[in-house]
Amino acid sequence: MKNLINCIYISLFVFLCSSCKKDPVGYDIPTTYNFNNVDYSGQTYRLAMLTALVSEVKKGNTPGTIVNAALAKNMYRNTGNPFTNDTLNTSGKQLKDKTFAADQSVLEAYIDAASVASAANATASNGTAGIVTNGTKNYLLDANGIEYKEAVEKTLQGALVYYQITAVYLSEDQIGAQVALADRQHHWDEAFGYFGVPVDYPFNTTGLQHLGKYANDRNALLGNATAVMNAFIKGRAAINNADNATVNEQVVIIRENVERGVAGTAVHYINSALANISDAPTLHHNLSEGYFLIKSLKYNPAKKISDTQIQTLINYFGGNFYTISTTDLQAAKDLLSNIYGFDAVKDQL
């Protein structure tokens, strides 16, 4: 009788425990981005084009070296075989047509201005575009102290990479339940491709690019990059198995954590600017990074930050980096930290 009672209790315990567990999804979720028919070659080409374009503009940081505006804009449009890697020239891909429309002319204006400033070969000062240097570091700045290389790089990382991930390829039009399976899979792959990490991240951190590199740099404190990677893997598996609820959940996670990575990196560069307030080259470089990262936050349609808050942050930077104060920088840092819940780690970012 005692054994019977024990069996009843054990059976009841197992039943109660099993009823409290979340039902498994019922399909395998791999540990890496390993699926049949994965294709994000277009994104791989564009990230390589972005790197090449930025390298051309960065030449202006070297005194006496002129940025070739025609070549840089051909790289942007992929016309005239501008790349040393002929695979990029013949890829049929370009950067311009994937850039947020309103920022295409802005990007090309930065390239033209960088070329003019590099040709002048002047010393940077308040009101004069030129090179700021401390003997070991050189940066080509506009008349307001903004670094041209960062203006081009961060504009593309925001208006192209961040925009394509959060607003385009993860949209309902691209990966919604009504989309044909093959197209749905491909669009999800393209979003992943723009993230710029290897298929076995975070086990492998070789070759991180652009947003993926910055996300990884913040990952130890924020866990953002790992969350994005896990969501990309789980979401692709969910698409393969028509698990639409899980797909939607992963979209939320990706958008949120890509945004947190960008915001956390902006805080990082504000910290660097505060720490190097008397080192002009480092200061202007860090201000430029933080400023354009903040501006890029606007592209996420599900962003945590409001447009008004973005404008407040931009106002803290002001129109002239030569006149920015530590008070304004600290205020920008505190506001970003408050919005994203970084207070516990804001000084370590």
**pLDDT in 10s for each residue of the chain, 349 residues:** 434 334 433 333 333 333 333 346 799 999 999 999 999 999 999 999 999 999 999 999 999 999 999 999 999 999 999 999 999 999 999 999 999 999 999 999 999 999 999 999 999 999 999 999 988 899 999 999 999 999 999 999 999 999 999 999 999 999 999 999 999 999 999 999 999 999 999 999 999 999 999 999 999 999 999 999 999 999 999 999 999 999 999 999 999 999 999 999 999 999 999 999 999 999 999 999 999 999 999 999 999 999 999 999 999 999 999 999 999 999 999 999 999 999 999 999 9
pTM score of the predicted model: 0.92
Does some domain include residue 79?
A: yes
Query: pLDDT value at position 185?
Result: 98
Is 28 within the bounds of a domain? no
Whether 21 is covered by a domain: the verdict is no
318 falls within a domain: yes
**Is there a domain that residue 18 lies in?**
no
Within-domain flag for 11: no
- Cα 348 to chain center, whole Å? 20
Does 8 fall in a domain? no
Distance CA 52, CA 82 (A): 10
Predicted local confidence at residue 24, as pLDDT: 63
Instruction: Tell me if 247 sits within 8 A of 270, measured CB to CB.
Output: no
Segments forming the whole domain that contains residue 196? 41-340
Q: How far apart are CA 40 and CA 332, in angstroms?
A: 36
Q: What is the pLDDT of residue 19?
A: 31
Residue 22 belongs to a domain: no
Please give the pLDDT value at position 135. Answer: 84
Domain count, the chain: 1
Sequence-ordered list of residues with C-beta below 8 angstroms from that of 27, at least 6 positions apart, any chain: 237, 240, 241, 243
- In angstroms, the CA 348 to CA 346 distance is 5
Do 58 and 67 contact (CB within 8 A), yes or no? Answer: no
